[in-house]
Amino acid sequence: MSLSLPPREEMVAAFLSGDASYDGVFFTGVRTTGIFCRPTCTARKPKPENVEFFASARDALFSGYRACLRCKPLAPPGAAPPWVAELMRQVEADPARRWKDADLKRLNLAPDRVRRWFQKQHGMTFHAFARARRLGEAFTEIREGQPVAQTAFAHGYESLSGFNDAFRQMVGTPPRKASGPLVVFSRIVTPLGPMVAGATEEAVCFLEFADRRMFEGQVKRLRSLLNGVMIPGTNALIAQLQDELAAYFEGTLQVFTVPLMSPGTAFQQAVWGQLRTIPYGETTSYGAIAEAMGKASAVRAVAQANGANRLAILLPCHRVIGKDGKLSGYGGGVWRKQRLLDLEQAHRVE
């Protein structure tokens, strides 16, 4: 598969500055060392005339370069290190556990290191993550009919008021008044960087790249529309989505089967319905969508609805381009839009 690269001058500037927004866009081969790196590598920067750029780690390897041991370019962007995977395994094995720094130290983990990683990757500390997971588990039991007080004490809270305050701080309402669906959010690593998926027990309702512009606004809008409780966690649909995304990026899956839910206005729903009709490996324009809806003059409104899509890749807004054939804006970055189109073109069956 042939992948596009930005202009060399742009890549040189991004590499020299360690610009994280280009992680996944290109890899840098250093001729003087025979090593290739991510743009964000913290090793000493070589002279620009001594570097060449590749669109993928595979291309760099085939050109004879070795992977840098510092920035680990062979790992998917945002991949969790082994110690995080083990820590998450223990959290999921006992979601009701109250974690303390002493528990982390017994696992030979420095609390500050754990805090920094979770703050960067999840936007919260590990202790906040574990607390939200514990509250979500308690809320699930309450929704299933368990008494609030009994559930609070079973999950390590010393008082009902303490549990109610913690729940209200996380959700914005006491547990008895939380009437919307429970939405679990999980981080999924992809070749184009980490994504965040959200799902109820019935359908996937959120999938976005973790560094998407207006990410927090999209989550808040979804919470408002569903009146739901949102917590970190996973379920069967998240697992199915993860498997289907892996197959999609491998080029072996063209149609997702995981059930979807995307609340919005009637107009947004109509636009998103049109997105579902765009075949794999093909593109259309905002104007063509407006015409198909019988609203030829609503091109700008179609573009806005396209941008409000909260199910990246699943509702393929990346297949919508400008009338002139040029790529227009994409919440996850235009470079990702190009990579998704390149992927689909390479695996499209005529």
What is the model's pTM? 0.75
The predicted structure's pLDDT at residue 346: 87
With bands split at pLDDT 50, 70 and 90, how would you rate the model's confidence at 2? low
| pLDDT computed for residue 244 by the predictor | 97
Task: Compute the mean pLDDT over every residue in the chain, rounded to the nearest whole number.
Answer: 87
Q: Which residues are the active-site residues?
A: 37, 317
Is 60 exceeded by the pLDDT of residue 1?
A: no
Q: What is the pLDDT of residue 318?
A: 95
Q: For residue 135, what pLDDT is reported?
A: 81
281-326 pLDDT, tens digit per residue, is 999 999 999 999 999 898 999 999 999 999 999 999 999 998 888 8
Question: Any idea which of 81-85, 175-179, 207-211, 270-274 has the lowest mean pLDDT?
Answer: 175-179
pLDDT tens readout for residues 87-113: 988 888 888 788 999 999 999 999 998
Domain ranges in the chain?
Answer: 8-67, 77-179, 261-347
User: What's the pLDDT score for residue 241?
Assistant: 97
Kindly report, residue by residue over 11-35, the tens digit of the pLDDT. 999 899 988 778 878 999 999 999 9
Q: Of residues 143 and 109, which shows the higher confidence score?
A: 109
Q: pLDDT value at position 289? A: 95
CATH architecture entry for 77-179: Orthogonal Bundle (1.10)
Which residue is associated with the tokens 């015409």?
291
Q: Give the CATH number of domain 8-67; options: 3.90.226.10, 3.30.1490.20, 3.30.460.20, 3.40.10.10.
A: 3.40.10.10
Confidence at residue 105, expressed as pLDDT on a 0 to 100 scale: 93
% of the chain surpassing 90 pLDDT: 40
pLDDT at 133: 82
Q: What per-residue confidence (pLDDT) applies to 142?
A: 78
Which residue matches tokens 């370019």?
73
The CA distance from 202 to 260, in Å, is: 8
pLDDT, tens digit, 9 for 90 and up, residues 223-233 = 888 887 888 88
Which pLDDT score, from 0 to 100, does residue 132 have?
83
Pick the CATH number of 261-347 from 1.10.10.10, 3.40.50.2300, 3.40.50.2000, 3.90.950.10: 1.10.10.10
Tell me whether domains 8-67 and 77-179 share a fold: no
Confidence of residue 155 (pLDDT cuts 50, 70, 90): confident
First to last CA, the chain: 16
Is residue 156's pLDDT more than 80?
no
Evaluate if residue 350 carries a pLDDT over 80: no
Which pLDDT does position 3 carry in this prediction? 63
In which band, very low, low, confident or very high, does the pLDDT at 52 lie, cut at 50, 70 and 90?
Answer: very high
